[in-house]
Amino acid sequence: MSASEPALLSLTEVAHAIAQRQVSSREVTQSCLDRIQQWQPRLNAFMAIEADDALSAADAADAALAKGNSRGVLHGVPLAHKDMYYDAGKVVTCGSKIRRDWVATSTATALQRLKDAGTIRLGSLQMVEFAYGPTGHNPHYGAVHNPWGYDHVTGGSSSGSGSAVAARLTFAALGSDTGGSIRMPAHFCGVTGLKNTVGRVSRAGAMPLSQSLDTVGPLARTAEDCALLLGLMAGADPEDPTCIGGSLPDYTAATREPIKGLTVGIPSAFYVDDLDPDVARVLEATTAVLKGEGARVVQVELPDQRQLTAACQIVLAVEAAAFHKRWMIERPGDYGPQVLMRLQNALAIPAVSYLETLRWRGPALAAHLAATSGVDAVLAPVAPVAAPTIAESDVGNSPDAEAVIQRLTRFTRPVNYLGLPALSIPCGFTRSGLPVGMQLIGRSFDEALLLQIGAAFQRVTDFHAKCPEPK
Amino acid sequence: VTRPSPKEIKAMANVAGLPVDDEVATRIANSIGPAFDGFAHVAGTLPFDLEPATFNRVQTTQVAK
């Protein structure tokens, strides 16, 4: 254990260390706060820092533990989450001006389940306005910076989650993934991110963007940590009728399983086209590691992914605009220009086209499952490039920004349209030192298998353990 | 399906109660146009009886490797 700086431990390690009273919750919380103080001016990852409340909660957790009272497996572990998870009595900005002072009156189910397991609130994390953007820019609260290169984007919309987990300011963070918003920050910031199957984790109390596509999931340092969090959050919720019930696998146990005999598919097209040479190199190296662990790697031919991307864009645009219509009428000037532009895109989409994209979703998923019936999971890059600079992806200030952004989301949106789970894991670095992640795409509700493969990969590599240093 | 023109977008935006000017309509047409192009091969081809809820049925169907 890192006794001198417990913030450097993984979530699983620190939870165990607190439970065994090898370290106190106060020491852990103070360690996180020290790093937040050091990094926040560089990263702008936090929306709110609640140091005094966090330390008081840590003291209470230590006192309870001294009496033999543990609240759960995350007793006394300090965490911060994307500022779109309602927490009763707390301001939840959703990264917006419109909700700058909005106080939640209920608590998101996913967040409550983590609280019930004993977590402590460190504050809240920055995000793209209303979670509607893939880069990490925010006109109201400033861009979040990538700890591996301050001039580079974190990816969005869970920008603060990616940045803060990478810099070891929080052990894990909730993000949300509607078009890639967990996997892109995980890829750009060098952390592990789990986009769950639509219906796996309750969305009650999470700010909505698209009711067909929204998913709640964690960004953490390891697949093992993601498994721990998913096990706590998953399952039926009367507050969210779209959330699927039934028995759940032991996700943590899955991470201990070997992958010998599993088959991983590499797409023959689309996900391997037009890759930056660094990303192509990392894909090849990742494939070699999986083979080395006993997995069989084969080529897989997927249906036309461009159609899935297009369908995702149509569903997302219409559903987001429907949520926002009242504010688009009453407060258009309170949106940042990028988000207002994206919301306005829905005005061009006839209802018939929107409903066609929803009707096609079943056959499209069936076609994907048929195409991947010979493999356990698909391995693909999260994006064709590593993190672009904040300047080159700033819509309105860079003439190429739209093209840069379109390229970023190419590989994530098909997964959202199909509602599939995908795990983004750090798999290497570019020659200039920026992280590169790969996504493992699985079958519906088979997150356990992705976590199994991710954990096996992380047992024999150390990309997830690399920690950026302040410059 | 074909991508809507700026003129058509202006009319649709008016009906939606969110009127836009020519410049915004042109920007929207350029921005969302590729999505229409991408979905063009599917649009208008779906079977009559296909319901959106088919997705949920396929999602929960176990597919053996």
Taking 60 as the threshold, does the pLDDT of residue A1 lie above it?
no
| Interface contact flag, A198 B59, Cβ < 8 Å | yes
Number of A–B residue contacts, CB under 8 Å: 123
- In tens, the pLDDT along A283-322 reads 999 999 999 999 999 999 999 999 999 999 999 999 999 9
Total-model pTM: 0.97
- In tens, the pLDDT along A24-34 reads 999 999 999 99
Alpha-helical (H) ranges within A331-350 are 337-344
Read off the tokens for A445.
């509700």
* Residue A376 confidence class, pLDDT cut points 50, 70, 90: very high
- Between these two residues, A189 and A400, which has the higher pLDDT value? A189
Taking 80 as the threshold, does the pLDDT of residue B64 lie above it?
no
* Residue A3 confidence class, pLDDT cut points 50, 70, 90: low
A247 touches chain B (CB under 8 A): no
Chain B residues within 8 A of A359 when measuring between CB atoms: 46, 50-52, 54
Query: Strand A120-125 to strand A46-49: parallel, antiparallel, or no bridges (unpaired)?
Result: antiparallel
Q: Decide: A364 and A417 in contact? Cβ < 8 Å.
A: yes
CA distance B50 to chain A (A): 6
Chain B contact probe: residue of A347, A415, A445 with most B CBs at under 10 A: A347
Query: Strand A263-267 to strand A78-82: parallel, antiparallel, or no bridges (unpaired)?
Result: unpaired
When pLDDT is averaged across residues A422-439 and rounded to a whole number, the result is 98
Q: Decide: A32 and A94 in contact? Cβ < 8 Å.
A: no
Residues 6 or more apart whose CB falls under 8 angstroms from that of A369 comprise A443, B58, B61, B63
A40, β-bridge pairs: none
Distance between CA A82 and CA A153 in Å, rounded?
A: 17
Taking 60 as the threshold, does the pLDDT of residue A471 lie above it?
yes
- In tens, the pLDDT along A79-138 reads 999 999 999 999 999 999 999 999 999 999 999 999 999 999 999 999 999 999 999 999
Average pLDDT of chain A to the nearest whole number: 96
Read off the tokens for A50.
């609640």
- In tens, the pLDDT along A133-187 reads 999 999 999 999 999 999 999 999 999 999 999 999 999 999 999 999 999 999 9
A82, β-bridge pairs: A125
Q: What is the DSSP letter of A289?
A: H
Percent over 90 (pLDDT), chain A: 95
CA distance B12 to chain A (A): 6
Distance between CA A134 and CA A223 in Å, rounded?
A: 23
| Interface contact flag, A347 B20, Cβ < 8 Å | yes
A307 closest CB neighbour out of B20, B38, B52 = B38
Distance between CA A15 and CA A75 in Å, rounded?
A: 7
* Residue A395 confidence class, pLDDT cut points 50, 70, 90: confident
| Interface contact flag, A366 B58, Cβ < 8 Å | yes
Residue of B nearest to A356 (CA): B43
- In tens, the pLDDT along B31-51 reads 999 999 999 999 999 999 999
pLDDT at A2: 56
Residue of A nearest to B17 (CA): A329
* Residue B1 confidence class, pLDDT cut points 50, 70, 90: low
Chain A residues within 8 A of B63 when measuring between CB atoms: 369, 373, 443
A359 closest CB neighbour out of B27, B46, B65 = B46
pLDDT at B63: 55
| Reported ipTM exceeds the 0.90 cut | yes
Q: Could you say which residues from 22 to 51 on chain B have a Cβ atom under 8 Å away from some Cβ of chain A?
A: 24, 27-29, 31-32, 34-39, 41-44, 46, 50-51
A427 touches chain B (CB under 8 A): no
